Amino acid sequence: MPSAKAEDYIKAVYQLQDGDDPVATSAVADALGVTAPTVTATMKRLQEQGLVEREEYKGVRLTPEGELVALETIRHHRLLELFLTEHLGYDWTEVHDEADQLEHHISERLETELAAVLEDPSADPHGAPIPTEDLEPTDADDDPLSEYDEGETVVVTQVADSDSAVLAYLADAGITPGTRLEITEIAPFGMLTVASDDADDTVSLPTEIATAIRVRDTDSEPSDSEMTLAG
């Protein structure tokens, strides 16, 4: 069974990977706040355990076994986030760090009980899809808000959960999963302005925040019965 540290590294690789391209050591180091030599040493150990494949000077990929570890860790994390918000009164700005600590230490029985209490949810409080009990990936088919053009109307599907200040800002602005947004202006210096169905005033978002918001255009938006988002 991988250690908590190993699970953190494997999860980071999973979340950084793009198709079949290897994930650079420097990208993992930046994501985890550690040095590149530390990542290299850890990846060598994970390779020996059959959890990653390494390409010298290029990076790493997860093996099928590594992907299962990543998906299970992510499932634990997102179930915990949802349980903390729905049953323990946590705000969505508070649950990421708490779940990071707990995700490595819950049993399979507790995972099953959490899922049952939450009625087998499909998404966490931030809209991130929860891998299934069979560890099937359920990555959403969406794109960053920053990639859309002025005049387009979109629905928010997910927001990045790691920055509590950004989450607080978005909550104050009324931008949460399920919110419909019209992009009213894109300034040449990167500021993006949106109007929502639920607010009278427009909201201006720096590019880095717009990038942290995942959306789907309204032409491909699922019906209410198909769209199950928590939060």
Q: Give the per-residue pLDDT at 91.
A: 96
CA distance 67 to 22: 14
Q: Which residues contact 217 (CB under 8 A, 6 or more apart)?
A: 148, 152, 153, 154, 155
Buried/exposed code over 99-133 (b: 16+ C-beta within 10 A; e: otherwise): bbebbbeeeeeebeebbeebeebbbbbbbbbbbee
- Check whether 81 has a pLDDT greater than 50: yes
The mean predicted confidence, pLDDT, of the chain is: 91
* DSSP letter string, 22-60: PBPHHHHHHHHT--HHHHHHHHHHHHHTTSEEEETTTEE
Q: If pLDDT is split at 50, 70 and 90, which confidence band does 57 have? A: confident
* DSSP letter string, 53-82: EEETTTEEEE-HHHHHHHHHHHHHHHHHHH
CA distance 196 to 45: 48
- Check whether 221 has a pLDDT greater than 60: no
Domains in the chain, CATH or no CATH each: 4-62 (1.10.10.10), 143-220 (2.30.30.90)
Among residues 154, 145, 230, 226, the alpha carbon closest in space to that of 191 is found at 145
CA distance 28 to 48: 18
Compute the average pLDDT of residues 177-200: 90
What are φ and ψ of residue 23, in 5° steps?
Answer: -90, 125
pLDDT above 90 covers what percent of the chain?
79
CA distance 57 to 43: 13
Q: If pLDDT is split at 50, 70 and 90, which confidence band does 220 have? A: low
Compute the average pLDDT of residues 180-204: 89
Segment 13-52, tens digit of pLDDT: 999 998 889 999 999 999 999 999 999 999 999 999 999 9
User: pLDDT: is 70 or 1 the higher one?
Assistant: 70
Q: If pLDDT is split at 50, 70 and 90, which confidence band does 227 have? A: very low
Q: CA 142: distance to chain centroid?
A: 12
pLDDT above 70 covers what percent of the chain?
94
Judge contact between 142 and 215, C-beta under 8 A: yes
